[in-house]
Structure 1
Amino acid sequence: MKPAYIYSDELLNYRFNDSHPFNQMRVKMTTDLLLDGGYLSAGDIIRPRTASDEEILLVHKEDYVQAVKDAGTVGLSDSKLESYGLNTDDTPAFNDMHEKSKYIVGATLTAVDMVMSGKTKKALNLSGGLHHGFSGRANGFCVYNDSAVAIEYMRKHYNQKVLYVDTDAHHGDGVQWIFYDSNEVMTYSVHETGRYLFPGTGSLTERGDDKGFGFSVNLPVDAYTEDDSFLEIFEESLTKAVKHFKPDVILSQNGVDAHYRDPMTHLSLTSKSFEEIPRIVNRLSDLYTDGKWIAVGGGGYNIFQVVPRMWAQVWLSMNNIKAPRGKLPEHFIDTYQSRSKTEFPLNWEDDLSDFTEIPRREEITEKNRSMFDRAMMYLDNI
């Protein structure tokens, strides 16, 4: 069964304003890159459905959903907007916000239904991954939390144990807190330490509550962490988490803002990591979940130099295609190079001429390994 690629141009309408860093044009650029490279065909693309209000309410509070509807149509007072997180610089209200947001959720649910119905074992919705959304409040560019809705949907309709894997540079806080007291969902997040970065959470000691104690796994890596340290921690810890939890399905959030060229974070990963991360998840899904893997997008704010090439690796890994080398497709370069205000990449792999060596590499690696050892002790005690 071929993997399913969930996409429609309508998904690009989730947009706060023209100057906002969250720009879903990156989804179209990734799709165009894969099409131009011959790695994606029209037959692979599945048009998404929209989520119903009932599905949104699986994790979001009714008063919040109503506030999102009103904020995007008739408007709300400043105090009401503030109480629901809809008037911040990060997450301001925009027209038809409810309809545009639930289409993102519906795209992730389309991927879920494709996998759960047996039509495919792997499905990708790069427009999703809005992991900061809380049950009753918008947060961090995220209105509705599509991953959390999808997880609860799989629990309710398909009786699945879900392992949520988050490799965004920012902690997957919204998903974690929604399932913090559940032992039927394990949330796993490897991210830049909250000492320096939004949302400031994701410490080792956030391990879950009540029945969910031990089922929240956090690995906060130090600022300026590079490929080798990140990949070592990721592969070892995720393998252990899968073996301990024994999930039925993996849902992964694939933010690429840990790249060294991303303007909003302080990690130092290159294309090497983003080639390997989805291949590790793919391999573990084949070994432990009968291949069932649903992937979504997430962060990534350098949309010309970074996101399309890095996100393309998720689809390539689902199809067991080695990471390409050499020049990007000419048509893709011709289409987008003139639009970029920075030097446009010409090859699939990074040109590391602008990569700055980190003098504290040994110290950072040692700190990450110490953090990893503590996290694995916690995992052993589930």
Structure 2
Amino acid sequence: MRANAMFIYDERETAYRFNDSHPFNQKRLHVTVDLLKKSGALPDSCIQAPPSAAEDHLLLVHSREYIDCVKALSLPSPEEQWLGKAGQYGIDTEDTPFFPNMHAVTLDVVGGSVYAVDAVMRGETLHAMHLGGGLHHALPSKGAGFCVYNDAAIAIAHAKSVYGARVLYIDTDVHHGDGVQWSFYTDPDVCTFSIHETGKYLFPGTGAVNERGDGAGFGMSVNIPMEPFTEDQSWLECFSEVLLRTIEQFKPDLIVSQHGCDAHAFDPLAHIHCSMEIYREMPRIIHELAHRYCDGRWVALGGGGYDIWRVVPRAWSLVWLEMSEHPLLSSLSADEYGPLPSEWLDTWQPHSEEIIPGTWLDPVETWDPMPRREEIVTKNRQTKELSMLYLG
């Protein structure tokens, strides 16, 4: 019998870590899985451990020279010649430093995203979630932005090469999904859609509305750069209107979505001021569109998110609650934020310097209103119109 939703996870993916002080902390995977289990929302029957990817999968996107460098720098004591090339390939920076066993661990991450595509395209499940994935900044010959291999781009290329699928990639990370965009910038069969904080103030500095694709892929790149301090209503207005227009025109066979959750007001690495409401609403919209346009075929990946106690577990769990149509989701409303399991809070609060919210949603009415709200909304609406300029 075909499953409605599959949760792809193996604890070995938590070994994707650069160093003890690095903001990319895959402990968030373990904390999220624990929240879902203690909420009664993730039975063992839904969880599948994926195989590692093959090097042939990497070659769908990455150059042989880059892969060889990653492999060489993964050794406990890399040779001098490879240490000298680390800068050329972007894996000697504070953001993306090489680390022992890097190649094998990242193959595990890539394997989870490829497996998710296979499970959906073979009809084993309608939807598949792989929160260990979403490393969307890696370029064909360069690591960047905490990302070594671009599992999202590889999974999309796999869906194209094996199943002949037209793929809509939806990126909700606060940072522009540059690596995926550039990997398919001239490809008419992959549409990349990214809503993010404007690159004027935030890494990677790309994702302007005039990045629309090139050659046969012109119009297949859709970007919505949002103003700093954007709040829920403006973010969701732009997201929903542009996405609907995009999917109506592109008509994909498969949706691959990346669910970075760093547009939340608590996230330390960006300047957007949204609440948990966008992480409830965006998956709902994607889910509905997957059924309307793709016979339900939907793969969801993780991504950024650097408040690993107060934001990431709630936001990622909300994606799974939507994907699996769990009844807990329908109990959440503007008036009923929904209590988190006390057992989960008791387990993880001692690890967090900040008080972990006790509810699924945020009491936004208690937050201080953002200054310049009208100006921000107006600017975002102008951006929204520009984003849709070539969308039928």
If the TM-score is normalised by the length of the shorter chain, which range does it land in?
Answer: over 0.9
Alignment of 1:1-382 (within 5 A): 1-73=3-75, 74-77=77-80, 78-321=83-326, 322=329, 324=332, 325-352=337-364, 355-380=367-392
CA distance in 1, matches of 2:362, 2:312: 12
Q: Is contact 1:128–1:296 with CA below 8 Å preserved after alignment?
A: yes
What does the per-residue CA deviation read over 1:158-189, in whole Å, with 9 as the maximum and x for residues that have no partner?
00000000010000000000100100100000
- The 8 Å contact of residues 217 and 379 in structure 1, kept in 2 or not, is answered as no
Q: What displacement does 1:374 show?
A: 1.4
Which SS does the other structure have where 1:163 is aligned?
A: strand
Tell me the CA shift for residue 370 of structure 1.
0.7
Alpha-carbon separation, structure 1, partners of 2:314 and 2:128: 18
Structure 1 contact 7–45 (Cα < 8 Å) conserved: yes
Matched letter for residue 361 of structure 1: R
Whole-Å Cα distance in 2 between the matches of residues 195 and 137 of structure 1?
22
Distance 1:340 1:353 in 2: 24
SS in structure 2 at match of 1:218: strand
Query: What secondary structure sits across from 1:190 in the alignment?
Result: strand
Cα RMSD of the aligned pairs, angstroms, is 1.1
Quote the offset at 1:356 in angstroms: 2.9
8 Å contact 1:190–1:221 — kept in the other structure? yes
The 1-side partners of 2:103 and 2:366 are apart by 41
Distance 1:76 1:217 in 2: 42
Separation in structure 1 between the aligned mates of residue 79 and residue 289 of structure 2, nearest angstrom = 46
Q: CA deviation at 1:156?
A: 0.3
Q: Deviations over 1:208-240 (max 9, x none)?
A: 111111100011011111000010111111011
Cα distance in 2 between the residues matched to 1:105 and 1:253 = 14
CA distance in 2, matches of 1:303, 1:351: 19
Return 5+ residue gaps in structure 2 as ranges: none
Alpha-carbon deviation of 1:297? 0.5
Counterpart-to-counterpart distance in 1, 2:365 and 2:356: 13
Partner-residue secondary structure (3-state), 2:389: helix
Identity across aligned pairs (percent)?
A: 47
Equivalenced residues, count: 380
3-state SS, counterpart of residue 170 of structure 2: strand
Q: TM-score, normalised by structure 2?
A: 0.95
- For residues 84 and 363 of structure 2, the distance between their equivalents in structure 1, rounded to whole angstroms, comes to 48
